[in-house]
Amino acid sequence: MKRLIDLHLKEWKNSSIRKPLLIRGARQVGKTHAIRTFGESFRNVIEVNFELTPAAKKIFEKDLDPKRIVLELSLFAKKDIVPGKTLLFFDEVQAAPTVLIALRYFYELIPELHVIAAGSLLDFAIEQVGVPVGRIASLYMYPLSFMEFLAATGNHQLIPLILDHKDQEEMGEPFHSILLDLVGQYFAIGGMPEAVSAWVKTKTPKMSFEVQHQIIESYQMDFNKYAKKHQVKYLEQLFKQIPYLVGEQFQYKNVHGEYRKRELAPCLDLMCRAGVIHQVYHTAAHGLPLGGQVNLEWFKVIFLDIAICQAILGVDLVEWFLKPDATFINKGMIAEAFVGQELLCYSQTFRKSHLYFWRRAEKSSKGEIDYIYEHQRSILPIEVKSGAGGTLKSLHAFLEKHLDIPYGYRFSKLNYSIHERLISKPLYAVASLAHPDEREALNYLY
């Protein structure tokens, strides 16, 4: 299946200022598969998995001279390593953090060699040894976006229909209904590549649901790899309960059980670094950058994948296929998480992106905007509605207070429209807010 990262990897390969590359993202979002597919454009690939072949770690223990390392890796793999024609791929690097330090010297002494490193828990290795500033580049991967899902399921012809559509014109029928049905499918299948692949191959949702539960088990098994023994029980509790708290301002007191913030907060941070969840921080939204006005005590949490989130909740995902139109109703938190997941997928791939929301600071007056998003150096307030209705009082109040912001956005089941300062778009059109670099990359999918 085509992924947006495929194009970015090709651009990296041909760049005149190429640096060793880290592919960063949660377990099972498709990192290894994408790199192996990319490797087919080279004469040969040397893949070293430090979990499968721990003996390879010894090659990095003597010193970090890249020329010696390349020679010994060539002997170890029994293949030639030719700069410019070989892809050197280090996988599961968290099992050999010293490799990250060595990447600096690959850049300085063998810059013509293509080197990529990845790992399911890569950020923990980075925390342990750091990364050489200015010597290594990063690409961030997430589950399949809805646009990638359309391409994977044979609906690639619908992608330009969405991307080129004008906001002031309604999407014609039956395309609007077809796309909402496909969004319903995505809500059920999600964006984890193995779950999508199972759906494409079998057209049986049950197979995808089985994959989702296997992924859930693998995430839980990882707890012992990155947490201290006494923290595992807190991670398990957070993992089970966060899906019930999606869309709400997160408060540790809402986690069931006799737990305290000082016990849960470090574990929440561990889950963020593992890529299992994303925090959505409050911003005052007075100007750019949004991250400069963050209140770290006010945040919401979403799972990396909406289908995984619903599977943990025990939601009957078959309903998304049987009656998607009715199932959207009262699924506000899932729709909100979907939009957040989409915004991350279409942000700049080479840097870590963050999500923000806005809430009134005054206790006497309630009001909240689901997302505050930076797009082409402008601030966009975004409200998400799962049904067709919704009053949008908070959005209108925000716009009245911020006269320099020309428009607010609503994503819902409704068709396209513009009314005064409100732009309404269907849920399937979040890609229209893609970063310009990613907008160009989306053309690759069709």
Q: What pLDDT sits at residue 328?
A: 74
Q: What is the pLDDT of residue 360?
A: 82
| Predicted pLDDT of residue 386 | 82
Q: Where are the domains of the chain?
A: 4-140, 146-445
Rounded Cα gap, residues 27 and 439, in angstroms? 26
Q: 405 falls in which pLDDT band (50, 70, 90)?
A: very high
Q: What is the pLDDT of residues 27-77, one digit of tens each?
A: 999 999 999 999 999 999 999 999 999 999 999 999 999 999 999 999 999
Q: Model confidence at 315, in pLDDT bands (50, 70, 90)?
A: confident
Q: What is the pLDDT of residues 261-288, one digit of tens each?
A: 999 999 999 999 999 999 999 999 988 9
| Residue pLDDT, tens place only, 419-440 | 989 999 999 999 999 998 888 8
- What value does the mean pLDDT of the chain take? 93
What whole-number percentage of the chain has pLDDT above 90?
83
Residues in the chain, total: 446
Cβ neighbours of residue 341 closer than 8 Å, sequence gap 6 or more: 142, 143, 145, 191, 302, 304, 305, 306
Alpha-carbon distance 88 to 115, whole Å? Answer: 5
Residue of 91, 17, 96, 19 lying closest to 64 (CA atoms): 96
- Output the CATH code of domain 4-140: 3.40.50.300
Report in angstroms the alpha-carbon separations of 405 from 171, 189, 289, 390, 396: 26, 36, 15, 21, 11
Report how far residue 192's alpha carbon sits from residue 28's, in angstroms, rounded to the nearest whole number.
7
Render pLDDT for 152-164 as a digit per residue (tens, 0 to 9): 999 999 999 999 9
Task: Check pLDDT > 70 for residue 398.
Answer: yes
For residue 389, pLDDT beyond 90: no
Give the residue among 191, 166, 175 at the shortest CA–CA distance from 338. 191
pLDDT score at 239:
97
| Confidence at residue 358, expressed as pLDDT on a 0 to 100 scale | 94
Q: How much is the pLDDT for 257?
A: 84
24, 138 Cβ separation under 8 angstroms? yes
**pLDDT one-digit tens code per residue, 114-127:** 999 999 999 999 99
Separation in Å, CA 202 to CA 17, 151, 155, 317, 349: 43, 17, 16, 17, 31
Q: Which residues pair with 373 in a beta bridge?
A: 380
